[in-house]
């Protein structure tokens, strides 16, 4: 299973093609829309999210609520396009006969300058349109297909927020999967505890008032996977590595941790490795889950717990020093419409890119053209693991 996305932030639409999804899997636009709408919610986003109402048009690969086995085409329109039609159109001359204003002032922290150098564009709009995280709507659409597949196999996945601007959510060990899911849907900052959630909202409001931006840490939790998904035999078959790649590829993500992550560097082995137990009902299990569900690039059967760190948004109302690429003069970055914190939205993006990698690994391990047969084989494997 693989996917490609196309589309610019203020262009007509985002297009995603997901290839390799087996036939006869129940899939409707509601499965995708639920994910898209969740991504749009979250405290700290700018005016753009009030303009967009992301809804998918499934333009291929699905009929009568079931996948056909052919590529699935997912289209999400940009409602903001109507305000940008002129700027995003083919004609470089505007209605007054002037050459359109170009973007020549790169923002520190965004892709503007490096992208312009690499692709030889003097108008950095050509860079920012595609480097914008608007593209994450397309990735969420693809991930929603993957998540639907996982859900049908009894695998559940949810993303939420662990930390914003140094304010950490307390560990809520007693929370069930359903609780985490509810919080991820309802909390404006997707924080697992209300007290710190409130503090996070205040921090976001403060950053916005200061013309600044803040980052944080998202976590994705996956339960219901049997041991042995992924592989140790070759570097690019290690599922934890593939998840890390997918998370790191989200706009503004700067690092990835599984389980206790970097804390492992500071502990003895006896306080890191998860002891093995066995029971008649469950088969093998781990007494702890400090390694976040992975050993040797394969699942252990414990929940996958993966964190990703997001840097603060680069576009600031509070100006940072930069250089105009035409005049070479220093300037203080001009004011642009922007989010002040997108960590709650990014938790949903992370959930979906992780879902895609897991679904892809499942399909590699249990290849099948027809979903019901895949499910049969997968359930059989689950039973073999339990009885091993």
Q: Does 132 bind ligand EPS (CB under 6 A)?
A: yes
Binds 111: which of ligand FMN, ligand EPS, none (CB < 5-8 Å by kind): ligand FMN
Is the distance from CB of 305 to CB of 177 less than 8 angstroms?
no
Question: Residue 21 or 346: which CB sits closer to ligand FMN?
Answer: 346
Please list every residue from 25 through 64 that binds ligand FMN, using CB under 6 A: 46
Q: Does 354 bind ligand EPS (CB under 6 A)?
A: no
Question: Residue 223 or 336: which CB sits closer to ligand FMN?
Answer: 336
Cβ-Cβ contacts under 8 Å for 388 (sequence gap 6 or more): 283, 284
Distance CA 309, CA 347 (A): 10
- Please identify which residue in 339, 341, 352, 366 interacts with ligand FMN, judged by CB under 6 A: 339
> What count of residues does the chain have?
388
Q: Does 339 bind ligand EPS (CB under 6 A)?
A: yes
Size of the site for ligand EPS (CB under 6 A): 13
Binds 180: which of ligand EPS, ligand FMN, none (CB < 5-8 Å by kind): none
- 39 labeled part of a ligand binding site: yes
Q: Tokens 């990735």 identify what position?
A: 139
Choices 62-70, 196-204, 225-233, 335-343 (CB under 6 A): range interacting with ligand EPS: 335-343
Binds 192: which of ligand EPS, ligand FMN, none (CB < 5-8 Å by kind): none
Dihedral sign, Cα of residue 85, residue 91, residue 92, residue 98: negative
Of residues 309, 281, 306, the one with CA closest to residue 293: 306
Strand stretches in the chain, DSSP E: 2-6, 13-19, 56-60, 62-63, 66-67, 72-77, 156-164, 167-168, 216-223, 253-258, 276-279, 283-286, 294-295, 298-299, 304-310, 321-323, 330-332
Is the distance from CB of 168 to CB of 286 less than 8 angstroms?
no
Distance CA 339, CA 312 (A): 10
- 252 labeled part of a ligand binding site: yes
- For the bound state, the minimum distance from the C-beta of residue 265 to ligand EPS, rounded and expressed in Å, comes to 32
Choices 70-78, 84-92, 145-153, 309-317 (CB under 6 A): range interacting with ligand FMN: 309-317
The string of DSSP codes covering 256-271 is: EEETTGGGGGGS-GGG
Residue 39 carries which DSSP code? H
Is the distance from CB of 352 to CB of 35 less than 8 angstroms?
yes
Binds 349: which of ligand FMN, ligand EPS, none (CB < 5-8 Å by kind): ligand FMN
- 375 labeled part of a ligand binding site: no
Binds 346: which of ligand EPS, ligand FMN, none (CB < 5-8 Å by kind): ligand FMN
Of residues 381, 376, 383, 364, the one with CA closest to residue 146: 364
Q: Does 251 bind ligand EPS (CB under 6 A)?
A: yes
Q: Does 124 bind ligand FMN (CB under 6 A)?
A: no
- Please identify which residue in 133, 175, 272, 385 interacts with ligand EPS, judged by CB under 6 A: 133
* Residues of this chain that bind ligand EPS (CB under 6 A): 9, 46, 48, 52, 132-134, 136-137, 251, 337-339
What residue numbers does the annotated binding site cover?
Answer: 39, 45, 130-132, 251-252, 296, 311-315, 337
């Amino acid at each position: 299973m693989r996917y490609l996305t196309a589309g610019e932030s203020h262009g007509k639409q985002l297009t995603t093609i997901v290839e390799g999804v087996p036939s006869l899997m129940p899939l409707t636009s509601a499965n995708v829309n639920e994910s898209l709408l969740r991504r749009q919610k979250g405290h700290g986003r700018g005016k753009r999210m009030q303009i967009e109402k992301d809804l998918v048009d499934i333009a291929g690969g699905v009929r009568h609520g079931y996948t056909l086995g052919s590529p699935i085409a997912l289209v999400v329109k940009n409602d903001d396009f109507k305000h940008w039609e002129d700027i995003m159109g083919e004609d470089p001359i505007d209605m007054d006969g002037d050459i359109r204003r170009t973007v020549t002032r790169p923002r520190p922290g965004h892709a503007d300058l490096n992208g312009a150098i690499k692709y030889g564009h003097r108008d950095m709009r050509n860079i920012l349109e595609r480097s914008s995280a608007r593209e994450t709507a397309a990735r969420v659409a693809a991930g929603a297909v993957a998540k639907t597949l996982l859900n049908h196999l009894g695998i559940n996945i949810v993303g939420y927020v662990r930390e914003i601007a140094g304010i950490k959510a307390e560990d809520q060990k007693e929370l069930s999967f359903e609780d985490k899911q509810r919080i991820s849907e309802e909390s404006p900052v997707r924080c697992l505890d209300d007290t710190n959630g409130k503090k996070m909202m205040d921090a976001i409001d403060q950053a916005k008032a200061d013309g600044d931006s803040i980052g944080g840490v998202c976590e994705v939790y996956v339960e219901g996977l049997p041991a042995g998904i992924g592989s140790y035999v070759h570097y690019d078959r290690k599922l934890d590595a593939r998840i890390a790649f997918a998370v790191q590829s989200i706009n503004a993500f700067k690092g990835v941790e599984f389980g206790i992550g970097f804390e492992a560097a500071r502990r003895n082995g006896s306080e890191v490795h998860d002891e093995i137990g066995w029971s008649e009902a469950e088969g093998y299990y781990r007494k702890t889950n400090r390694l976040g569900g992975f050993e040797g690039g394969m699942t252990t059967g414990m929940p996958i717990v993966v964190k990703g760190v997001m840097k603060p948004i680069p576009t600031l109302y509070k100006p940072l020093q930069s250089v105009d690429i035409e005049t070479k003069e220093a300037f203080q970055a001009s004011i642009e419409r922007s989010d002040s914190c997108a960590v709650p939205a990014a938790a949903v993006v992370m959930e979906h890119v992780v879902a895609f990698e897991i679904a892809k690994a499942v399909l590699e391990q249990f290849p099948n053209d027809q979903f019901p047969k895949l499910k049969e084989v997968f359930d059989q494997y689950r039973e073999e693991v339990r009885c091993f």
